[in-house]
Structures are given as structure tokens and as C-alpha cells.
Amino acid sequence: MMSWFRSEKRSEGARFLPDHNSLESFQRGRVPDPRALVLLVVILLIGVAYLFRDSGWGFDANSDAPYEGIRYEAIGDSITFGLKFNFTVDNLNHPAITNAVYQGWPELLGDMLSERTGVVTSVINEGHPGDRLIRVLDERIPVMFRKRRHADAALLLIGTNDSSAFESTPSGAGCSGANCTGTLKGRLLRVIAKLHDHGRETVHVALIPPAWGPDPSSLFSDPLSSEAERNHRIIQYNQVIAREIATQPGVALGPDFFSCFLSSDNNRFSLFYDHLHPNALGNLVMAMLWRDAVTGNRLDSIADGCPSPVYILESLDPYRHGQKQNLLAEGDPYYLDESFTLINIPDELVNGIWVLQANADRDNRDEEFLSFDAGNRPVTVYVAYDPAGVPPVSPSHSFLPFTLSADLAVSDPSVKSFSVVRAVDVTGTVSIGGNKSGASKEPQQGFVVIVVP
């Protein structure tokens, strides 16, 4: 089975240090060691490559060399570029991977499309953090064409930074001709026209995901309320995309990332790293939604709440105690507010969805501290707790002690390895009390929940 995750890490340029004696000989007029000259040339070339890394004139591994199959270009901002994260995935039929990934959904999508269609497919990440549509139009697109003349189609997800209150871009709803100048609609149409002119036969345009707050330090109490002005701008942008952009020739409507993450019935903020960026599990959801849209399986109605294409926990409240769900690998932190990391993950847990919470809540004694919907297919729920104390209570299920095949080892020297209780064949709502709800008298670190489909 084809891996859905890149196995290579982004390289960090090697350091080339010339021999000191060779440099001294050169300064004195003697013939230098040829190796020193080679190293100096290498240094110069690296410097030139760095200076011109975005100019389009340097070497690009994805350039005009002949390629097999289908090539897409994923164009966007930091949501496309992605974040550095580690994860292990083996849910459903996902291969297990445990290496660092520095990118987002495009890297995952290429292998997914190859697997689904049987045609080798590459998705080149052209996301640039902080980009607004005007920069994509004036700078990124020309550079992209100089680097790479040929691609079959484009995947466009852009507009989040245009929605910022600092300098928002008008939507251009209903505009035509010169009246569209300076608007999201006008700039999107110009980007699409340039892509068509350069052989990108189809441009798939996605609807922009929601913002969960005005900035990283604060959140909207209700991201659909009138206080969430940024989301109302995003909704206007998405209406323009769906009604006035996707109806153009050579344009296809991509995934509805707004409604799939946020609606009156669904709030999936637990899939986000911060107020704008999806975490590893969120990126996996995005890649799968792109896959379904590109291959013609896009949901035409969100009346059913946009069911996730991969197993996730629903109704996990990310506001009351800030819990998030994610995919973790060895080396990842398992609390939201601590740097302690996982050292060893036993085989029973490698498929799991990890519920992350703040260790600052370790003294909480609430009877119900954590609640989520595990779905209608039976899953196993593990609670990993500090052996210095006792596990939290659960008003919904009976959790029994369980011995894992290996230690769930962590870097916290006060814990070293977690003890575990579990409940099997779990469906529906799961409720778990606070860390001290088990009436432990001893100090103990916070518990961690892992749900394995």
C-alpha cells in the first residue's frame, strides 16, 4: 500500500568549512589546497541559491523535467504550507509513519490521489505563510511559472489573510468589469485567468476555513456570532467563490472547509493548532476532503453536517477546558502546556486519537471534566494516568486496569511511564472526570486519553 506521508525531512543545509591553513596559504600568495577552492565555490553557490530561492531562477526539483502521471499545484498561504508536526497514523487503512512532516495537506493529498485513481499524482506545495491574494497575483504566480511551465491543474485555497481586520479586502460580490478592481473576486478571476493561460486546465477553488479568534491570544466565544466579524467576511468571500467564481469555465468548486469545520451543528476547533491553522489530524481531514472533491465525490449538501472522511471525535468541547484531539508520535508533547514528550508508544495505541489537555488542570475534581462522542462503531478508550495516584472516575463507562505490551514511556521524570485503564466496545458519549475525581490523596500529573478505532 502506498504511503500517504513523505518519508523525507526538510533538509538543513550542510555546513562547509574551508581548511584554515589553505586560506592562510592563499592569502600569502601560495597555491591553495584545491579542496578549499571547491568548498569556497560551494559556499558561494549555496549563498546565491538562498538569496534567489523565491526568484524562480534557481533549481527547482519540481521544474520542467519530464514527469509521470498528473501534477497539481497547491496555491495558498500558511494553511496550505502547513506546520511542523510529528504524527503516527494507522486509522482505517492508513500506513503507520513516525517521522516529522514540515508541510500540510498537499503532501498527504498526492499519495491519496495516486492510491484512489491508480495514476501517479504529485501535488506541489506553493503555500506561502502570510500571503494575501494580491501577493499571490503579483509575485507568486509569475515566479511559479518561471520555475515550472507545466502542470495539469491548480488547487487554490486563499483568502484567510485578506479577511484580517487590519486590512481586509472587499469581497466584490456582484461586481463586474473595472468595479472588481481591488476586490477578492477581481483578484481571484485574474489569478485563474493566468493559470488557464499557462496550461492549468482546471482550477479547483476551495471555500476558506473559519477563524477561531481575532488573533492567537484570544478566541471568539461564539465563532458564528456578530462579534466574529472576521468569519462574516470569510462567509462573504465563500459566497463569492461558490456563486461567482466556481461557475466560471475551467473552474471547479473545491471542499467547503468552512462548513466542514464550523456550522450551527458542528464545531471542530479541536482539530486546530491555533486560531487559524489545523493540526496534524486537521491536515489529514483537509487532504481527504480535497481528495474527494478532486475525484468528484464532493458533498453537494452540508445538511448532514459534513461527516468527517476519517475517524475523529465529535462533540469534543475545546472551550471549557481547552481540550484538542490530534495524532501523536514519539517525540511529541502530550499536554497542551508542558514540554514533556512521548518516548515510547505501545502497539495498542499507535492507531489512536489523542485527547490533549492542560496539565495545569491536574487538581481538577469535577465528576465530568471531559466529554466526547465516540461514534456509533465500537472503539477502545484508554486512560493513561500517573501511577502515583489513581485514574479518574467515569460516569459513563467502566474502565478496568490493562497491561500494555510495552511501557507508555514519557520524558516526565516524576512519571516515567503511565499506568492504563481501558473501556472496550465503546460507542456514543464518553464522560470522564477530573484528574483528582478518583479521590487520590497523592500529587499526580494529568491524565491522557487515547481513543483507538
Distance CA(208)–CA(348), nearest Å, equals: 37
pLDDT of residue 312: 97
Q: How confident is the model at residue 45 (pLDDT cuts 50, 70, 90)?
A: low
* Other beta carbons within 10 Å of 274: 14
pLDDT of 107 > 70? The answer is yes
pLDDT of 388 > 80? The answer is yes
- In tens, the pLDDT along 50-64 reads 444 444 443 344 556
Instruction: Average the pLDDT over each of 45-59, 102-116, 307-321, 358-372 and give the range with the smallest value.
Output: 45-59
| Angle (deg, nearest 10), helices 184-197 and 229-240 | 40
- In tens, the pLDDT along 169-187 reads 999 999 999 999 999 999 9
Phi, psi for residue 224 in degrees, rounded to 5: -110, 0
Distance CA(123)–CA(71), nearest Å, equals: 6
- In tens, the pLDDT along 137-173 reads 999 999 999 998 899 999 999 999 999 988 899 999 9
* CA angle 112–118–119, rounded 5-degree value: 90
pLDDT of residue 441: 83
Instruction: Give CB contacts under 8 A, 24+ apart, made by 166-169.
Output: 168/233, 169/132, 169/133, 169/134
- In tens, the pLDDT along 253-299 reads 999 999 999 999 889 999 999 999 999 999 999 999 999 999 987 55
> CATH 3.40.50.1110: which residues of the chain?
70-294
Q: Where does residue 425 fall: left (phi above 0), alpha (psi -120 to 50 degrees), or beta otherwise? A: left
Q: Indicate the burial class of 26 (C-beta count within 10 angstroms; 0-12, 13-18, 19 or more).
A: middle
Distance CA(107)–CA(101), nearest Å, equals: 9
CATH of 70-294, one of 3.40.1790.10, 3.90.1150.10, 1.10.357.10, 3.40.50.1110: 3.40.50.1110
* CA angle 312–265–231, rounded 5-degree value: 95
Q: How confident is the model at residue 399 (pLDDT cuts 50, 70, 90)?
A: very high
pLDDT of residue 32: 54
Cell numbers given for 83 = 506546520
**Cβ(282)–Cβ(272) under 8 Å?**
yes
- In tens, the pLDDT along 286-323 reads 999 999 999 987 554 444 568 899 999 999 999 999 99
What secondary structure, in 3-state letters, does the chain show? CCCCCCCCCCCCCCCCCCCHHHHHHHHCCCCCCHHHHHHHHHHHHHHHHHHCCCCCCCCCCCCCCCCCCEEEEEEECHHHHCCCEECCCCCCCCCCCCCEECCCHHHHHHHHHHHHHCCCEEEEEEECCCCCHHHHHHHHHHHHHHHCCCCCEEEEECCCHHHCCCCCCCCCCCCCHHHHCCCHHHHHHHHHHHHHHCCCCEEEEEECCCCCCCECCECCCCCCCCCCHHHHHHHHHHHHHHHHHCCCCCEEEEEEHHHHHECCCCECHHHECCCCCECHHHHHHHHHHHHHHHCCCCCCCCCCCCCCCCCCCECCCCCCCCCEEECCCCCCECECCCCCEECCCCHHHCCCEEEEECHHHCCCCCCCCEEEECCCCCEEEEEEECCCCCCCCCCCCCCEECCCCCCEEECCCCCCEEEEEEEEEECCEEEECCCCCCCCCCCCCCCEEEEEC
Neighbouring residues of 102: CB distance < 8 A, sequence distance ≥ 6:
9, 10, 82, 83, 84
* Other beta carbons within 10 Å of 57: 13
